[in-house]
Amino acid sequence: MAVTFSDLHTESGVKSLETALSGKTYISGSQITKDDVKVYAAVSKKPSADLYPSASKWYDSIASKLASSFPGKATGVTISAQIQSEAAPIKEVVKDAAAADEDDDLDLFGDETEEEKKAAEARDQAKASTKKKESGKSSVLMDVKPWDDETDMKKLEEAVRSVHIEGLLWGASKLVPVGYGIKKMTIMLTIVDDLVSVDDLIEERLTAEPINEFVQSCDIVAFNKI
């Protein structure tokens, strides 16, 4: 739906401008497009930064660029938070330029330029790449059982914690009596799901040589995604 210049003097027109500008760069590089100039000239005053943040930033950006483009008309003008009133001399120049090529049905919702499409694609690819790198994590509670009551539990714990794998972090542990003077070690660990398999950790490391000198078996008590 096209937005006319007369619409931009109304609240609904400014809302439409905000929607059109939301999520887009306000000025590409150092160039001001013809549409930027025409719309800027049609907006009666700077949009509220609270109500229309994108439109407000766009307005400030255009005014700042125009100030440098028309130094003779902007003598003594400082572009700042008060740009709404201070940019008036510039707007007179802009209105003259816009009047020469005014289109009452300027479509603020037109197709994206090739540059905007490429920028959007680059952002999507960056997000996808970041998401791919962010692997899930899990918290695991494990029981580690010794061979008998003569097993040195301190050395058993040292042997278990000696296992270092990327994506594995050992946590707190405690000894729990199981009967007949035998104690088991209950230990917490955090793993990165894509890097560590708990089954492989048990079969290939914790119950394999040389750790199996102390460890008879391991059982997963709890497994929770973080």
Tens-digit pLDDT profile for residues 141-151: 999 999 999 99
C-beta of residue 5 within 8 angstroms of C-beta of residue 102 = yes
Q: Residue 78 pLDDT > 80, yes or no?
A: no
Could you give the domains of the chain? Answer: 6-130 (no CATH), 137-225 (3.30.70.60)
When pLDDT is averaged across residues 145-164 and rounded to a whole number, the result is 96
Residue 87: its pLDDT value, please? 43
Confidence of residue 119 (pLDDT cuts 50, 70, 90): confident
| Burial profile 166-202: b = 16 or more Cβ within 10 angstroms, e = fewer | eebeeeebeeeeeeeebbbbbbbbebbeeebebeebb
When pLDDT is averaged across residues 44-52 and rounded to a whole number, the result is 82
C-beta of residue 214 within 8 angstroms of C-beta of residue 226 = no
Residue 54: its pLDDT value, please? 83
Confidence of residue 208 (pLDDT cuts 50, 70, 90): very high
Residue 68: its pLDDT value, please? 66
Average model confidence (pLDDT) for the chain?
76
Q: Name residues whose C-beta falls within 8 Å of residue 75's C-beta, 6 or more positions apart in sequence.
A: none
Top pLDDT among 89 and 170 is at 170
Q: Residue 206 pLDDT > 90, yes or no?
A: yes
pTM as predicted: 0.43
Q: Residue 20 pLDDT > 70, yes or no?
A: yes
**Residue 179: strand, helix, or coil:** strand
When pLDDT is averaged across residues 22-42 and rounded to a whole number, the result is 66
When pLDDT is averaged across residues 52-70 and rounded to a whole number, the result is 77
Top pLDDT among 221 and 81 is at 221
When pLDDT is averaged across residues 84-111 and rounded to a whole number, the result is 48
Confidence of residue 55 (pLDDT cuts 50, 70, 90): confident
